[in-house]
Structure 1
Amino acid sequence: MLSRRAAVPTPAHGISFREALVVWTRVALQSFGGPAGQIAVMHRILVEEKRWISEERFLHALNYCTLLPGPEAQQLAIYIGWLLHGTRGGIVAGTLFVLPGFLSILLLSIIYALYEETTAIQAVFFGLKAAVLAIVLEAVFRIGRRALKHPLLVVFAGLAFTALFFFNVPFPLVVLSAGVMGYFGSRARPEVFAGGGGHGPGKTAVLSEDQAVINRHTVPHVFPSWGRTLRVGGLGLAAWFGPLLLVGVLLDFGSVYWQQAKFFSQMAVVTFGGAYAVLAYVAQQAVEVFGWLRPGEMLNGLGMAETTPGPLIQVVQYVGFLGAFRHPEGLAPLTAGILASIVVTWATYAPCFLWIFLGAPYIEQLRGNKALSGGLTAITAAVVGVILNLSVWFALHTLFGGVAEQHVGPLRLYVPEWNTLSLPTLVLSVLATLALFRFKIGTLPVLVGSTVLGAAYVFLMT
């Protein structure tokens, strides 16, 4: 008689679902630092430590996820989870990636809504932000070292950073331009745009195709078909909109809950370039159009999202919570806020699973296409510039209390107000950076240590 465990056989690659579940839980609990830090965590655990996926396949998946609307790090987790264990693997990986952030921001939103006195929370955030800054810098170095294998790719990254940071060029245009140049460049200089392999500046070889676990075995669920595409598309759309339509039917299509379901579903398909590209618009609509937030409150939510695990776009949960808490429409305020948190989170992330389950089989089949690989390699280089752009933006707003935006013709400059420099934050950031780069201390110990030091400083000064 078969045992219960034998009913779910281990895949041919030998990685059990239970083992993957433990690893995805580790990834979720360490997913601080925005997309740069989250991608670096996955790379360290899945490529370097577990050796489950090759360097080339990891970057190929990342390239695709970067092109999609929504949080690329969470979509990358779905993609790799799908590679390992099919649909259920993708669902578990993507859900676990969001869950810690959802619970953290839900708790912080409740505290903020009930008391609107966040002195203790700010004491915790003070040191945590400094550690996150160090983690982001380390992530830029880690990803850049492996993606920029040729000086020309460094130029691509530099051009992408310049276009975004100094000229505010739309992110889709930067990615499209890089892809087109890489596509044609691969024909003239194939050695520059060859995807995967190679070495970073250091002595450590990256994990090659034949060394990774899942690349040595057939993965049957990666083969696409039109029948599968229609089936997955239909089920995915039903899963995305079905619960939201049910909210509208039960709570009225004029309610705040349906407003949020509709608004954040629209946001889910236009969030190219990461959360920063759309959060300013979300804040404006939440304050001026819907009245969910008061002016300045978006910064509190952004601080919560930047210093809790999970995608930065999770800040929309805080927006939804406060909007429903203040306009409960017949429900208890806390009940309304919790319901809105679930609605907004569903509207934001449900399409991410659809994009991956629909497109990943085709992307896997195109891994051997040299021209396409050249385009994606150039996009990867540009993404390093994108991450650097977000890192510099984050550093400026972490270290300085005021940052002015000035324009000289088409040139945009961020000018920090030097008298607002937070020396304690700078000191903590330097200490966290030394701990990561020089002493190779793990991410979680650095986060905990920086948080304790920062909270102690705030309480001593108050």
Structure 2
Amino acid sequence: MHRIIVEEKKWVSESRFLHALNYCMLLPGPEAQQLATYIGWLMHWTLGGIIAGGLFILPGAFSIMALSIIYALWGHVGIVAALFFGLKAAVLAIVIQAVVRIGKRGLKTIAMRGLAAVSFIAIFFFAVPFPLIILAAALLGYIGAAYGSTAFAAVGHGDAHEDGESLLGNETPPHARPSAKQAIKISSMWLALWLVPVVGILLAAGTENVFAQIAVFFSKMAVVTFGGAYAVLAYVAQQAVETYHWLTPPEMLDGLGMAETTPGPLIMVLQFVGFMAAFRSPGDMPPLLAGALGGLLATWVTFVPCFLWIFLGAPYIETVRQNKALAGALAAITAAVVGVILNLAIWFAIHTIFHKTFAVEGYGFSFDAPVISSVDFWGLALSIAAAVAIFRFRVGMLQTLAGACLTGVGLFFVGVI
């Protein structure tokens, strides 16, 4: 997005792009889609934001829906299961790569490395709620930067510079200026689009219905999940698996693998989660129809709030460019997210490479430890091979995923799995 929007098309300047990115990373939900919406809104007001944000997710939504149907119908057929066996192994390596990549960019000071470690310990060993960790980190970074501390100086953005003239220029366009009347109008419309369906489902079906659970859970996620796609997935995966029992950890990895290989944002895996939840509890509906509606409902309540945050907040954010306190909050969130993603990687590994786990508890902490004798040696070997390909030989993500899938199918044909 940066290469095309700033360098090639020159739609906006470097500093304006980074300012928008800073704001989107401070929002709950998927920042990539929000950034696309922000740029579209900045250039062409509400219609531009809807077109940019909507078209950013539609290809992925169609792709994930098709793959979810295939998975639900044939996911346990030998050759398809073998393909997803390879996919899971590669995704483990990709999540670890995300930890390393974000860690190198974000953990520039001792304070940031300490915050990442505390975040990991808090969520993995003490089950501290993910939103609380991110909000505490943002508050710490904001206060520290506001009082002049450099412990949480913004990372990866440096001193933004103008790279020549941009199409938009440096002036704030008329529609990007704050207006109380416009804010009330926007809030009313987008809150209605988001919450009226949720309330309607709750009133019609009750709180125990799977569609009501999907609507409420993903609406809550849209409000409290900060820190980008991998951080969101850490929260969603553990809630969907351990609280709602919509799917298993290996199935969550399968969905993540689908999202990695399809166009659009990684967060589209949430549509797969909603699909599987409704597919398994269809009520009086045909399972595939229920699954499709569940997936679309999850997508709707995940992304509609994103448009609300941008259309409502962006005019005010345009007035506070170069705010050091906000930059400090962003940097602290980035540090905390490294610990959260590390938790995701270890949680996935424990529940997929090992067939059995046991609970370890005491002195306020609790976590699932693997039963070493239950290790899946082929899954472990394939995960290690994928990690070697990514880290040692710099093989691309799609090539690694394809190679792992083909290896899984090959192991199936020789009778190993």
Instruction: Point out the more displaced range, 369-378 or 93-102.
Output: 93-102
| Alignment partner, residue 112 of structure 2 | 153
Aligned-residue sequence identity (percent) comes to: 40
Q: In structure 2, what residue type is equivalent to 1:426?
A: L
Within a 5 Å distance, the mapping from 1:39-438 to structure 2 comes to 56-57=18-19, 60-65=22-27, 68=28, 70-72=29-31, 74-79=33-38, 82=41, 86-111=45-70, 113-114=72-73, 117-187=76-146, 189-196=148-155, 208-211=160-163, 217-218=170-171, 220=173, 222-241=176-195, 254=204, 259-271=209-221, 272-273=224-225, 274-278=232-236, 281-282=239-240, 297-299=247-249, 301-309=251-259, 310-311=266-267, 312-314=269-271, 315-324=273-282, 326-328=283-285, 334-438=288-392
Residues 149 and 113 (structure 1), Cα distance of their counterparts in 2 relative to 1, 3 Å cut: closer
Instruction: Point out the more displaced range, 354-363 or 206-215.
Output: 206-215
Q: Deviations over 1:34-87 (max 9, x none)?
A: xxxxxxxxx89879999975695476135313xx2x445544554455456554
Q: How many angstroms apart in 1 are the aligned matches of 2:343 and 2:206?
A: 35
Contact 1:164 1:171 in 2 (8 A): yes
Contact 2:279 2:290 in 1 (8 A): yes
Contact 1:131 1:450 in 2 (8 A): yes
Q: Which runs of 5+ in 2 are unaligned?
A: 226-231, 260-265
Contact 1:47 1:207 in 2 (8 A): no
Contact 2:234 2:341 in 1 (8 A): no
Instruction: Point out the more displaced range, 210-219 or 425-434.
Output: 210-219
Contact 1:320 1:340 in 2 (8 A): yes
Q: How many angstroms apart in 1 are the aligned matches of 2:205 and 2:343?
A: 38
Root-mean-square deviation (Å): 3.8
Shift of 1:454: 1.8
Shift of 1:402: 2.4
Q: Which runs of 5+ in 1 are unaligned?
A: 1-22, 24-42, 199-205, 288-292
Q: How many angstroms apart in 2 are the aligned matches of 1:146 and 1:283?
A: 30
Q: When the two structures are superposed, what TM-score results if normalisation uses the length of structure 1?
A: 0.72
Shift of 1:236: 0.9
How many residues are paired up?
395
- Secondary structure, aligned partner of 2:162: helix
Shift of 1:120: 2.9
Q: In structure 1, what residue type is equivalent to 2:327?
A: S
Q: How many angstroms apart in 2 are the aligned matches of 1:445 and 1:401?
A: 27
Contact 1:48 1:207 in 2 (8 A): no
Residues 304 and 428 (structure 1), Cα distance of their counterparts in 2 relative to 1, 3 Å cut: closer
Q: In structure 2, what residue type is equivalent to 1:230?
A: I
Residues 80 and 393 (structure 1), Cα distance of their counterparts in 2 relative to 1, 3 Å cut: farther
Contact 1:113 1:322 in 2 (8 A): no
Residues 392 and 231 (structure 1), Cα distance of their counterparts in 2 relative to 1, 3 Å cut: same
Instruction: Point out the more displaced range, 134-143 or 423-432.
Output: 423-432
- Secondary structure, aligned partner of 2:145: helix
- Secondary structure, aligned partner of 2:120: helix
Q: In structure 2, what residue type is equivalent to 1:210?
A: E
